[in-house]
């Protein structure tokens, strides 16, 4: 296998670093149902890693394991060279993992700006009462955070909706705001749960460009789940394919495309 060993360079000349996160023999069960069974794969620094698979394959469960929302019964999660003990999702977030959700989870009544500001929560040190009163360092801290948020607003080209309540925005823009909020946390690893779901072609093209630009500009490592095969194959450096909770393929888009198990899982196979 070419890529799985360690550092490598992508076709378009990006240098991919060492292993950032490693999943070792993960098994996740809900009662009698095994959602994920004995899966191992890794995510390298700076790469775009996709997890794909048919409905019910266990992709979202996998993302939830990475984000610390689910705790696997078996297996280990290694992050930046250390084995991760069972953690609360907010503790994982503090380690530099941010995510978006499949069915948008924004605060509808709040403006785009305020929604994105919530993404800076992990970077705010002043206690709540100080923030409420703008006491001590709270104001200076807010200025610093606002500056970072404005950079992201500029980056994602959403200046025109800065003060619009999120509930009034069309779907495609909400998705972009969600991405902005995740980026506001300045994550080392960004998890995207079906970033293109329900989008039209033009919105998908925009979102793809933003994902590539985020990876290129901020060097953010990205793990994404996606249904749209075309998008995945174009965007990602390496792909994990899941089916019925098992891993059936892992490699570059080209390798995966030629993998017989993957073809069978997607197209069905005669028994």
Partner 1 sequence: MAELTSIPRLLARNSRAYGARPAYREKEFGIWQSWTWSEAEAEIEALALGLLDIGLSPGEHVAIIGRNRPQFYMAMVAVQSVAAVPVPVYQDSVAEEIAYVLDHCGARMAIVEDQEQVDKIIEIRGRLPGLSEILYVDKRGLRKYDHTHLTPLEQVQEMGRASKDRHEAELNRRRDGIGYDDTCVMLYTSGTTGRPKGVVLSNRNIIETSKASAEFDKLTETESVLAYLPMAWVGDFIFSIGQAYWCGFCVNCPEQTSTMYENLHEIGPTYFFAPPRYFEERITILTIRMEDAGAIKRGMYKWFMKLASRVGPRILDGKPVGVLDRVLYAVGNVLVYRPVRNRAGMSNVRVAYTAGEAIGPEIFDFWRSLGINLKQLYGQTEASVFITQQPDNEVRADTVGVPSPGVELRIAESGEVFYRSPGVFVEYYKNAESTASTKDAEGWVATGDAGFIEEGTGHLRIIDRAKDVGKLANGALFAPKYVENKLKFFPNILEAVVHGADREYCTAFINIDLTAVGNWAERNNIAYASYQELAGHQQVLDTVQAHVEEVNRSLATDDMLSGCQIHRFLVLHKELDADDGELTRTRKVRRKIIGEKFHDLVAALYDGSERVSTETEVTYEDGRKGSIKATLEIREAKTVPVEVKTLEDVVEAAE
CB of 110 vs partner 1, minimal distance in Å: 17
DSSP 82-120: EEPPS--HHHHHHTTEEE--TT----TTSBHHHHHHHTT
Counting contacts by CB under 8 A, is residue 257 touching partner 1?
A: no
Which of 159, 200, 234, 269 forms a contact with partner 1 (CB under 8 A)?
A: 159
Counting contacts by CB under 8 A, is residue 234 touching partner 1?
A: no
Q: Within 189-218, which residues bind partner 1 (CB under 8 A)?
A: 209, 212-213, 216-217
- Does residue 230 contact residue 57 with C-beta atoms inside 8 Å? no
End-to-end Cα distance, the chain = 30
DSSP 127-173: -HHHHHHT-TTHHHHHHHHHHHHHHHHHHTT-GGGTTSBGGGS-HHH
Question: Which of 39/169 has CB closer to partner 1?
Answer: 169
Counting contacts by CB under 8 A, is residue 15 touching partner 1?
A: no
Counting contacts by CB under 8 A, is residue 154 touching partner 1?
A: yes
Q: Within 166-185, which residues bind partner 1 (CB under 8 A)?
A: none
- Does residue 24 contact residue 83 with C-beta atoms inside 8 Å? no
Question: Which of 150/228 has CB closer to partner 1?
Answer: 150
Q: How far apart are CA 256 and CA 193, in angstroms?
A: 20
Looking at the DSSP bridge assignments, the partners of residue 241 are: 52, 249
Residues touching partner 1, count (CB under 8 A): 19
Residue located via tokens 């996160």? 21
CB of 44 vs partner 1, minimal distance in Å: 18
Counting contacts by CB under 8 A, is residue 25 touching partner 1?
A: no
Q: How far apart are CA 100 and CA 95, in angstroms?
A: 16
Residue located via tokens 């965007």? 235
The 110-149 contact track toward partner 1, x by CB under 8 A, reads: ------------------------------------xx--
Contact residues toward partner 1 (CB under 8 A) are: 12-14, 146-147, 150-151, 153-155, 157, 159-160, 162, 209, 212-213, 216-217
């Amino acid at each position: 296998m070419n890529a799985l060993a360690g550092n490598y360079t992508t076709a378009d000349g990006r240098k991919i670093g060492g292993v950032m996160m490693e999943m070792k023999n993960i098994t996740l069960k809900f009662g009698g149902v095994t959602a994920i069974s004995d899966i191992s794969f890794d995510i390298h620094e700076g790469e775009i890693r996709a997890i794909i698979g048919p409905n019910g394959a266990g992709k979202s469960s996998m993302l939830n394991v990475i984000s610390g929302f689910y705790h696997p019964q078996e297996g280990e999660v290694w992050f930046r060279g250390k084995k991760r003990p069972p953690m609360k999702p907010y503790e994982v977030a503090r380690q530099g993992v941010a995510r978006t959700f499949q069915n948008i989870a924004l605060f509808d009544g709040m403006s785009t700006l305020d929604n994105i500001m919530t993404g800076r929560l992990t970077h705010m040190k002043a206690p709540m009462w100080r923030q409420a009163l703008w006491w001590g360092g709270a104001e200076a801290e807010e200025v610093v955070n606002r500056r970072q948020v404005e950079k992201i607003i500029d980056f994602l080209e959403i200046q025109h909706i800065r003060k619009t309540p999120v509930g009034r925005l069309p779907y495609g823009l909400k998705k972009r705001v969600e991405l902005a909020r995740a980026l506001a946390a300045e994550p080392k690893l960004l998890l995207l749960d079906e970033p293109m779901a329900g989008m039209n072609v033009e919105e998908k093209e925009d979102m793809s460009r933003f994902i590539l630009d985020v990876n290129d500009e901020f060097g953010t490592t990205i793990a994404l789940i996606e249904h749209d095969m075309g998008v995945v194959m174009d965007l990602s450096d390496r792909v994990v394919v899941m089916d019925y909770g098992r891993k059936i393929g892992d490699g570059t888009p080209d390798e995966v495309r030629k993998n017989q198990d993957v073809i069978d899982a997607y197209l069905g196979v005669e028994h």
